[in-house]
Structure 1
């Protein structure tokens, strides 16, 4: 079963329902030991970066997350959970993230409507199992005011255009992340969740 981390930032049940629709069992948990024992983990979330990191620390989730990643188990961050995977964010100041990947979380450039909300096309930059069956031009649902600026170009799997190209999907080895909400992105979003589930089966 896939563990969905509950650290008080919401959007949990919709992720669980999405997994159910594509045939994968999951459980929502705020127990660090349950996360450690999970075969795969999803870190969802909506809200503020600093509050989210503080909640992860307070609930004892930071160490189990790093253990999951180091053990080679599939791990995926969604929306805020994706941003938390990087080194730091400038949202409300300067706040350190999980540092799973190098890079910074930056505010969308001036002149753009914030938040970026609605459907947007992806441009697939490189092949990756998480993108199986997803082609350039596929649309996904975004809601965000900040974007990820990876410190390694090889991390970027797909980009989206919102007045500029930004990283919409990133990954390396067993770790994946998406700025959009697959659980709110109709059939193609469910395909992303199904592709993640396949990584669990392959372990």
Structure 2
């Protein structure tokens, strides 16, 4: 019997993410993982993981400087999987507003990343989420599983509705810190989490395994 080749996953290295933690977590799923900003490798891998840590505007500048915006656009146009984590999720929205400064995002989803409306900011530590029925990302996880968050900004309003019956609506997962905000999205080949699955123990490992299995 011929062995099945491991899925090739690129962790996109544009200077704003915990790339080593992501690499180790993905390698534990059995994936063949490489950290790189090489255009062709990122474009042609089975899966592309886009991490992100820091300010929205700085991450966007770093991503654009590494041509990551073009890579993500081309991959999604061809139906090729992309997963964003933390600010790597936030930059997929239309815009971010930090300290009154508006920065344009990739606009894959409408919505604004803005300051958390909570008594304690940043939101740092473990929290539960409310995943929608039919979620593939959260398949095999317990409803009371906890995930690791560290952020001061989030998307509070989800406005993307799809009325074409031939196209599945995005699945949106929510959590609450002060007020509800978007914790994860599954939208065809584009998945993303506000929390860090690579730092979320067994539950996070299951999420990454679920993503790898879709590649």
Asked if these proteins are the same fold (TM beyond 0.5), I'd say: yes
Q: Deviations over 1:150-181 (max 9, x none)?
A: 32265453111112221101121111010000
Aligned counterparts of 1:106 and 1:6: Cα–Cα separation in 2: 25
In structure 1, the gaps of 5 or more residues are none
Question: 1:187-198 maps to which residues of 2 (within 5 A)?
Answer: 187-198=202-213
Find the aligned partners of 2:102 and 2:23 in 1 and give their Cα distance: 32
Q: What's the Cα RMSD here?
A: 1.4
Q: How does 1:35-184 map to 2 (within 5 A)?
A: 35-92=42-99, 93-109=101-117, 111-148=118-155, 149-152=157-160, 155-184=170-199
Divergent runs of 4+, >4 A? none
- Higher Cα radius of gyration: 2
| CA displacement at 1:134 relative to structure 2 | 2.4
Alignment length, in residue pairs? 199
Contact kept in structure 2, 1:127 and 1:157, CA below 8 Å: no
1:23-57 CA-partner distances (Å, limit 9, x unpaired): 11111111122211112101001101101111111
Greater helix content: 1
Asked if the contact 2:56–2:91 (Cα under 8 Å) also holds between the matched residues in 1, the reply is yes
TM-score for the superposition, normalised by structure 1:
0.93
Gaps in structure 2 of 5+ consecutive residues: 1-7, 162-168
| Partner in structure 2 of residue 23 of structure 1 | 30
TM-score normalised by the chain length of structure 2: 0.88
1:58-104 Cα shifts (integer Å, max 9, x gaps): 11221111011111111110001000111100124100111111211
Q: What secondary structure, in the 3-state scheme, does the structure 1 residue paired with 2:52 have?
A: coil
